[in-house]
Structure 1
Amino acid sequence: MDYTSHIGRVNGDVMTQAHEPLNIMDSNQADYSTTTKRGIYLSKCLAFIILVIFALALVTASLLVYNYAACPQIDTLANVTKYELCHCDQSKLLVLPLTTESSRSVIPLDTTTHSPVPNVLNLWLPTHVKPEKYDIKITPFIYEGNFTFYGEVIIDLVVHEETKEMTFHGVELKIHYINILATEDEHSVYIVRHVEDVERNFHILNLGSTLEVGKQYVLTIKYSGLLNDNLHGFYRSSYDEKGVKKWIAVTQFQAMDARRAFPCWDEPALKARFTISIARPNNMTSLSNMNVVKREPHEHLKNYTWDHYAESLPMSTYLVAFTVTDFKNMTNDKFSVWARSEAVQSAAFALEIGPKILKYLEEYYKIKFPLPKIDMIALPDFKNGAMENWGLLTFREISMLYEEGVSASTDKVHVATVVAHEIAHQWFGNLVTPTWWRDLWLNEGFATYVEYVAVNAVEKSWNITELCVLDIVHNVFQLDALNSSHQLSVEVSASEEADAIFDKISYGKGSALLRMLNHILTDEVFNAGVTNYLNSKMYGNAEQRDLWSALTSAARQSGDFDADVAVVMDSWTLQTGFPVLTINRNYENGTVHFSQERFVLINDTVESQRSPIWWIPVSYTTASEKDFSSTRPRLWLKGERALSISNITMKSNDWFIANIQQTGFYRVNYDQRNWKLLIKVLKDPVRFQEINIINRAQLVDDAMNLALTGRLDYRTALDVTSYLAHERSYVPWKAGLSALGYIDTMLSKGAHYLEYGHYVLRLLNEAVKEIGWKVSPNESVVTSQYRVDLLASACHFEHPDCLENAVRMYTNWMLAPNPDAHSEIHVDLRGIVYCVGVRAGGVREWTFAWERFRVATAPSERHRLLSVLGCTRSPSLLHRYLEMSLRNDSGIRKQDIVRVFSAVAGTAIGQPIAFNYIRANWQRLRTFVGSLSTINLIVKVVTRRLNQAHEYEELKRFVTEYCSDLGRPVQQVLETISANVQWKDRNYNTIVDWLKAVDNNTS
Structure 2
Amino acid sequence: MTQAREPLSIMDGNPPNCDFSTKTKRGMYVSKSLAVVVFIIFGLALIATSFIVYNFAACPITDQLANVTKYELHHCGDQSKLLVLPISTEHNKNVLPLDTTPFPTTSEALETEEPVITDLRLPRTVRPEKYNLRLTPYIFEGNFTFDGELSVVIAVKNATDSITFHGVELTFKSIKLYEKSSGRVLRIVQRTEDAPRQFHTISLNETLKKGQRYVMNVTYTGILNDDLHGFYRSSYVEKNVTRWIAVTQFQATDARRAFPCWDEPALKARFTISIARPANMTSVSNMNAVGPPTQHATIKEYVWDQYAETLPMSTYLVAFAVTDFKKMSDKNFAVWARKEALSSAAYALEIGPKILSFLENYYKIKFPLPKIDMIALSDFKAGAMENWGLLTFREIAMLYDGAISPTTAKARVASVVAHEIAHQWFGNLVTPAWWSDIWLNEGFASYVEYVAVDAVEKSWKLMEVFVLNEVQSVFKLDALTSSHQISVEVYNPEEIGAIFDKISYGKGSAILRMMNHFLTDDVFNNGITDYLNAKKYGDAEQGDLWSALTNAARKRGMFDADVAVVMDSWTLQTGFPVLNIVRDYETNRVTFSQERFVLINNTVVGERSPVWWIPVSYTTGREKNFTSTVPKLWLRGQRTIAVTNITIDANDWLIANIQQTGFYRINYDMRNWKMLIDVLNDRSRFESIHPINRAQIVDDAMNLALAGRLDYGTALDITSYLVHERSYVPLKAGLVALGYIDTMLSKGAHYLEYKRYVLSLLDGAVADLGWNVAANESVVRAQHRMDLLSTACHLEHVDCIEQAVRMYANWMLSPNPDAYNEIHPDIRSTVYCVGVHTGGAREWQFAWERFRAAGAPSERELLLSVLGCTREPYLLYRYLELSLSNDSGIRKQDTVRVFSAVASSTLGQPIAFNFLRGNWQRVKDYVGSGATVNSILKVVTRWLNQPHEFEELKRFVTESCQDLGRPVQQVLERTEANVQWMQRNYQTIVHWLLKTTSA
Matched, 1:215 2:212: yes
Distance 1:816 1:185, change over 3 A: same
Is the 1:449–1:512 Cα contact (8 Å) retained in structure 2?
Answer: yes
User: 1:133: which partner in 2?
Assistant: 130
User: 2:27: which partner in 1?
Assistant: none
Is the 2:72–2:171 Cα contact (8 Å) retained in structure 1?
Answer: no
- 1:610 deviates by 0.9
Matched position secondary structure for 1:390: coil
Matched position secondary structure for 1:685: coil
User: 1:731: which partner in 2?
Assistant: 729
Q: Which amino acid aligns with 1:185?
A: S
Matched, 1:145 2:142: yes
User: 1:374: which partner in 2?
Assistant: 372
Structure 2: 5+ residue runs without aligned partners?
Answer: 1-43, 89-97, 104-108
Matched, 1:278 2:267: no
Q: Which amino acid aligns with 2:168?
A: V
Within 2, Cα distance between the matches of 1:468 and 1:928? 35
- 1:52 deviates by 8.7
Distance 1:790 1:64, change over 3 A: farther
- 1:589 deviates by 1.0
Matched position secondary structure for 1:324: strand
Within 2, Cα distance between the matches of 1:828 and 1:598? 40
Within 1, Cα distance between the matches of 2:871 and 2:575? 38
- 1:404 deviates by 1.1
Pick the aligned partner of 1:389 from 387, 408, 414. 387
Matched, 1:899 2:906: no
Within 2, Cα distance between the matches of 1:56 and 1:809? 76
Within 2, Cα distance between the matches of 1:377 and 1:106? 40
User: 1:640: which partner in 2?
Assistant: 638
Matched position secondary structure for 1:828: coil
Within 2, Cα distance between the matches of 1:1000 and 1:624? 37
- 1:854 deviates by 0.2
Within 2, Cα distance between the matches of 1:392 and 1:936? 29
Q: Which amino acid aligns with 2:958?
A: T
Structure 1: 5+ residue runs without aligned partners?
Answer: 1-44, 75-95
Is the 1:248–1:325 Cα contact (8 Å) retained in structure 2?
Answer: yes
Distance 1:403 1:112, change over 3 A: farther
User: 1:19: which partner in 2?
Assistant: none
Aligned ranges 1:422-821 → 2 under 5 Å: 422-604=420-602, 606-821=604-819
Within 2, Cα distance between the matches of 1:227 and 1:365? 38
User: 1:938: which partner in 2?
Assistant: 936
Is the 2:73–2:172 Cα contact (8 Å) retained in structure 1?
Answer: no
Within 1, Cα distance between the matches of 2:102 and 2:859? 51
User: 2:14: which partner in 1?
Assistant: none
User: 2:875: which partner in 1?
Assistant: 877
Is the 2:86–2:190 Cα contact (8 Å) retained in structure 1?
Answer: no
Aligned ranges 1:103-114 → 2 under 5 Å: 107=87, 110-111=99-100
- 1:275 deviates by 0.3
Distance 1:856 1:193, change over 3 A: same
Is the 2:129–2:154 Cα contact (8 Å) retained in structure 1?
Answer: yes
Q: Number of matched residues? A: 931
Is the 1:280–1:286 Cα contact (8 Å) retained in structure 2?
Answer: yes
User: What do the CA deviations read for 1:464-501 (whole angstroms, capped 9, x no partner)?
Assistant: 11101101100000000000000000001111010000
Distance 1:952 1:61, change over 3 A: closer
- 1:606 deviates by 3.5
**TM-score normalised by length of structure 2:** 0.91
Within 1, Cα distance between the matches of 2:461 and 2:395? 25
- 1:604 deviates by 3.7
Matched position secondary structure for 1:223: strand
Is the 1:296–1:306 Cα contact (8 Å) retained in structure 2?
Answer: yes
Within 1, Cα distance between the matches of 2:900 and 2:470? 21
Within 2, Cα distance between the matches of 1:722 and 1:933? 39
Aligned ranges 1:52-201 → 2 under 5 Å: 107=87, 110-111=99-100, 118-201=115-198
Within 1, Cα distance between the matches of 2:899 and 2:353? 37
Within 2, Cα distance between the matches of 1:54 and 1:536? 61
User: What do the CA deviations read for 1:246-270 (whole angstroms, capped 9, x no partner)?
Assistant: 1111110000000000000000000
Is the 2:86–2:191 Cα contact (8 Å) retained in structure 1?
Answer: no
User: 2:352: which partner in 1?
Assistant: 354
- 1:143 deviates by 1.2
User: 1:992: which partner in 2?
Assistant: 990
Distance 1:497 1:61, change over 3 A: closer
- 1:599 deviates by 0.3
Matched position secondary structure for 1:906: coil
Distance 1:181 1:620, change over 3 A: same
Matched, 1:965 2:966: no
Distance 1:157 1:59, change over 3 A: closer
Matched position secondary structure for 1:311: coil
Q: Which amino acid aligns with 1:460?
A: K
Within 1, Cα distance between the matches of 2:58 and 2:373? 55
User: 1:947: which partner in 2?
Assistant: 945
- 1:98 deviates by 8.4
Within 1, Cα distance between the matches of 2:75 and 2:243? 24
Pick the aligned partner of 2:854 from 837, 853, 856. 856
Is the 2:99–2:189 Cα contact (8 Å) retained in structure 1?
Answer: no
- 1:205 deviates by 1.3
Aligned ranges 1:201-350 → 2 under 5 Å: 201-294=198-291, 295-350=293-348
User: What do the CA deviations read for 1:619-658 (whole angstroms, capped 9, x no partner)?
Assistant: 0000010000000100000000001001111110101000
User: What do the CA deviations read for 1:946-982 (whole angstroms, capped 9, x no partner)?
Assistant: 0000000100010111111100000000000000000
Worse-matched range after superposition: 675-684 or 186-195: 186-195
Matched position secondary structure for 1:342: helix
Aligned ranges 1:823-842 → 2 under 5 Å: 823-842=821-840
Matched position secondary structure for 1:143: coil
Q: Which amino acid aligns with 1:160?
A: K
User: What do the CA deviations read for 1:255-306 (whole angstroms, capped 9, x no partner)?
Assistant: 0000000000000000000000101110111111001103210011111001
Distance 1:206 1:73, change over 3 A: closer
Is the 1:99–1:172 Cα contact (8 Å) retained in structure 2?
Answer: no
User: What do the CA deviations read for 1:519-568 (whole angstroms, capped 9, x no partner)?
Assistant: 00111111000000000001000000000000001111111211100000
Within 2, Cα distance between the matches of 1:737 and 1:862? 27
User: What do the CA deviations read for 1:32-53 (whole angstroms, capped 9, x no partner)?
Assistant: xxxxxxxxxxxxx9xx999998
Within 1, Cα distance between the matches of 2:75 and 2:574? 39
Distance 1:368 1:488, change over 3 A: same
Matched position secondary structure for 2:550: helix
Q: Which amino acid aligns with 2:262?
A: W
Matched position secondary structure for 1:208: strand
Is the 1:100–1:226 Cα contact (8 Å) retained in structure 2?
Answer: no
- 1:68 deviates by 13
Worse-matched range after superposition: 417-426 or 783-792: 783-792
Q: Which amino acid aligns with 1:516?
A: M
Is the 1:136–1:276 Cα contact (8 Å) retained in structure 2?
Answer: yes
- 1:185 deviates by 3.0
Q: Which amino acid aligns with 1:408?
A: P
Within 2, Cα distance between the matches of 1:124 and 1:961? 31
Is the 1:112–1:196 Cα contact (8 Å) retained in structure 2?
Answer: no
Matched position secondary structure for 2:827: helix
Within 1, Cα distance between the matches of 2:469 and 2:600? 23
CA RMSD, aligned part only?
2.2
Matched position secondary structure for 2:714: helix
Within 2, Cα distance between the matches of 1:63 and 1:427? 49
Is the 2:481–2:598 Cα contact (8 Å) retained in structure 1?
Answer: yes
Distance 1:997 1:129, change over 3 A: same
- 1:63 deviates by 14
User: What do the CA deviations read for 1:908-940 (whole angstroms, capped 9, x no partner)?
Assistant: 000000000011001111111100000000000
Matched position secondary structure for 1:827: coil
Within 2, Cα distance between the matches of 1:251 and 1:111? 34
- 1:100 deviates by 11
Q: Which amino acid aligns with 1:311?
A: E
User: 1:4: which partner in 2?
Assistant: none
Within 2, Cα distance between the matches of 1:998 and 1:330? 59
Within 2, Cα distance between the matches of 1:391 and 1:398? 20
User: What do the CA deviations read for 1:427-457 (whole angstroms, capped 9, x no partner)?
Assistant: 0000000000000000000000000000011
